Structure 1
Amino acid sequence: MEAQPSLSPAPPSTTPNAPRAVASSFARVSLLMYALLIVYASWYPFSGWRDMGLGPFDYLGSRFPYYWTGFDIWTNIAGYIPLGLLGVFALYPKVRSGWAVLLAALGGALLSGCMEAVQTYLPTRVPSNLDLLTNAGGALIGALLGARSCRYFLQDGKLLGLRRQWFTREASRGLVVAGLWPLALIYPQNHLFGLGHVVPPLSALISDLLDTPIDLATLWLNHAQLSAEQYWLTDLIVSACGLTGASLLLIQMMRKLAPRRTLALLYLLNCIAVKSLASALFFAPQNAFVWLSPSAFGGILIGGMMLIGLSFAPPTVQRRIAALALILSLLTTNAVPANPYYISTLQTWVQGKFLNFDGAAQFLSILWPFLAIWFLYHPVHRKQK
């Protein structure tokens, strides 16, 4: 007798290759970091706080500012577009479509309203209802873009497939940190990759609190100065350690089948492009590569040779060496006196209309090594095999 085929259909949920919507740690960490950047940029330089007898929300009922430019409008809109987009991504898949757009846009408007309110007490800032309107508009545009693209980036897109194929499952936080490294290099540094220079901002903060000039570097270095050879050696060490630590942070998150050395090279080239573009924009076009001193070039060569050898090491070894390299770079950067060339560079650093961007760039340059060390020692690595 011929067997009869089964008439009971297979449940659709058993399809093994069906994409499943999951929450994105990358989007949520990115949203938090971007919100912190907005806070820092909006209240920079955090000095001269005063009470002018105005309420923090009096600006809402004021007329629009007399003087404004198209540049101001577009930068306010552009600055909040990523916030709205990341807000929708962070809510996915719990909240989607119209509700996600509404919550992300409302969150952006509330954040902008608080930033403008606090600016009432800062002498270098002027709260503006026009800024609030344009910031809220940027958050709404970003939220609409996020709603149209979140499925592609978070569920069934090619980028998501490459992320799963090349990087470990625990890499979400680390990819955020790695992505911030090129941006952290925009602000001029005492050394090429010498991020985390906390002495100048701490000196400014203490001076503002005590209402008297305080230079921490002078206090603990006792007016010490290095010779030209010592500055050259210090720059070489810091540049090599900074490059090695940041690149190993990226490499140790990759799977064995990922093109590690190719991705690390593209990562470094991207950093060089961002650094050069920033130098050309904030100084002068002919100074695009002014940061590439002989010692910095030597640090890149040494760091590159170290990466070639360490790319074959186990991820645990790469992670530990990356953390040690970043700690050494951080300690050396803050332990030596500022290079006179670095001081003259800051004097020619053009802020102008980029005051908000300047504050965010400085904040990233200080915070990044601490974020990287936090990730490299995060307990999630204990679960990796």
Structure 2
Amino acid sequence: MPAPTDSAANSEANRTRAPAAPTASSFARVSLLVYALLIVYASWYPFSGWRDMGIKPFDYLGARLPYYWTAFDVWTNVAGYAPLGALLVLAMYPRIRPWWAVWPAMLGGVLLSACMEAVQTYLPTRVPSNLDLLTNSAGAALGAVLGALCSRYFLHESRFLLVRRRWFSGEASRGLAVAGLWPLALIYPQNHLFGLGHLVPPLSAFFSDLLDTPIDLATTWLNSAQLSAEQYWLADVIVTACGLTGAALLFLLLLRRQAPRRRLVALYLLACIAAKSLACALFFAPQNAFIWISPSAVGGIMLGTLMIAGLTWAPPTAQRRVAALALILSLVATNAVPANPYYLSTLETWVQGKFLNFDGAAQFLSVLWPFLAIWFLFHPVHRRQV
């Protein structure tokens, strides 16, 4: 009997090889944590005027349904909690299989929404509502079912995962979550185009509420410093260039050498600019979609693009250090430079209205993102090279 050939032996080995053990999705778990924080911030925004109204926190459960409600309110509540349900299902894998995870995901959405509504009892500007609880719970349930239906495209073998493994490093999951939040963080109006992490306004509001007296850190901390038009222009260029360079290099660090790196980075930056323009058109006016364009913003984009192009083929260690340094410099300058009067007038025209929850989440994300990015760049687990 002839001996089996090498190809036959390899084929037999492939058939008998045990399938790879399923692994947890770091992307889903980091995204779940960030999204839950956004829900908390949006539900309790603006975090001021905390008072005891003499009402028990869960009395709203036995109240009658609100007389006045709109389809917009219902659908925004459903849409707001649907991603939470989907992420809960994906985050529990592989400990709990997707379809079994639907029930605990629904329960998690109900408990989180009930807690958010209960705490609103102590906020005079917010009204706890059993209708909100019902619609939020419906959104979480819908998202959980959709998460289970789509799980095979994100958790099992699929073209999406094959492209992900071919183009992105093995440690890219958390980085993809951070990079994916950057376009959303840019939605809220900023003093500078890419100047995220502006801590002065939220800290001023926090201390004003804590001490029950108006406090403006912009005047006490910055001593009412005023800059000339040329100094504002230079600061805007520096912050815009550093913010753009830090975010682009962070995304670049996630890519393998065989990936179309420059095209993917360019596509990523175009998607971010599109999100910024869409937000300006939605919250200001359609004709103001490109209101963010200014000579200093264009100068910062050109300078940042040159820096990114020069660092594309630099060693990953150098890219990581430059990205962290650029983000830290942008963060410091954003909080050290007094607010531009034009920015203050722009913020006054920012439409909240029915988007109050979204406004709070957008502001929170714009403050949080640089710290998430710096955490990713400095965390030892994320510095592994594959």
Q: Same fold (TM over 0.5)?
A: yes
Does the aligned pair in 1 maintain the 2:90–2:98 contact within 8 Å?
no
1:13-35 deviation per Cα after TM superposition (whole angstroms, max 9, x unaligned)? 7448x565211011111111110
After superposition, the CA RMSD in angstroms is 1.8
Would the aligned equivalents of 2:281 and 2:288 in 1 still touch at CA under 8 Å?
yes
**How do 1:320-339 residues align onto structure 2 when only pairs under 5 Å count?**
320-339=321-340
Matched, 1:294 2:295: yes
| Cα contact 1:186–1:275 (8 A) shared by 2 | yes
Structure 2 residue identity aligned to 1:264: V
Q: How far did residue 213 of structure 1 move?
A: 1.2
Offset from partner CA, 1:351-385 (integer Å, 9 cap, x none)? 00000000000000000001100100001144326
The 10-residue stretch of structure 1 (213-222 or 49-58) with the greater mean CA deviation from structure 2: 213-222
Task: Give the distance between the partners of 1:356 and 1:241, measured in 2 at CA.
Answer: 30
1:28 is aligned to 2:52: no
Instruction: Say yes or no: does 1:118 pair with 2:119.
Output: yes
Alpha-carbon offset, residue 10 of structure 1 = 5.8
Mapped contact 1:19–1:155 kept (Cα < 8 A): no
Q: What SS does the aligned partner of 2:156 have?
A: helix
Aligned partner of 1:165 in structure 2 is 166
TM-score, normalised with respect to structure 2: 0.96
Write the letter of the residue equivalent to 1:31.
L
Contact 1:101 1:147 in 2 (8 A): yes
Asked if 1:246 is matched to 2:247, the reply is: yes
Q: Which amino acid letter does the alignment assign opposite residue 170 of structure 1?
A: E
**Matched AA of 2:195:** G
Partner of 2:371: 370
* Preserved contact between residue 112 and residue 136 of structure 1 (Cα < 8 Å): yes
User: Any idea what the Cα deviations from partners look like across 1:56-85, whole Å, max 9, x if unmatched?
Assistant: 000000000011000000000000110000
Residues 24 and 89 of structure 1 are in contact (CA less than 8 Å); yes or no, is this contact kept in structure 2? yes
Matched residues in 1 for 2:105 and 2:382: separation?
Answer: 32
Which SS does the other structure have where 2:319 is aligned?
Answer: helix
| Residue 91 (structure 2) pairs with residue 87 (structure 1) | no
**1:218-255 CA deviation, whole Å, 9 max, x = no partner?**
11222210011110000000000000000000001211
Over the matched positions of the two proteins, sequence identity in percent amounts to 74
Structure 1 residue ranges without an equivalent (≥5): none
If the length of structure 1 is used for normalisation, what is the TM-score? 0.96
Give the aligned residue type for 1:363: F
Letter in 2 for 1:218: T
Q: Deviations over 1:81-138 (max 9, x none)?
A: 1000011101112212442000111101110000000000001110000000000000
Aligned AA for 1:53? G
Q: Which runs of 4+ in 1 moved over 2 A?
A: 2-5, 9-16, 18-21, 381-385
- 2:213 and 2:3 map into 1 onto residues whose CA distance is 93
Stretch of structure 1 that moved more, 93-102 or 52-61: 93-102
Using the TM superposition, name which of 148-157 and 291-300 deviates more. 148-157
Corresponding residue for residue 64 of structure 2: 63
CA-to-aligned-CA distance 1:245-296 (integer Å, 9 cap, x gap) = 0000000121100111101101110011100000000000110000111100
Letter aligned with residue 374 of structure 1? W
Conservation of the 8 A alpha-carbon contact between 1:92 and 1:150: no
Equivalent position amino acid for 1:216 in 2: L
Q: CA deviation at 1:12?
A: 7.7
Amino acid at match of 1:83: L
- Counting matched residue pairs gives 382
- Alignment of structure 1 residues 195-234 onto 2, 5 Å: 195-234=196-235
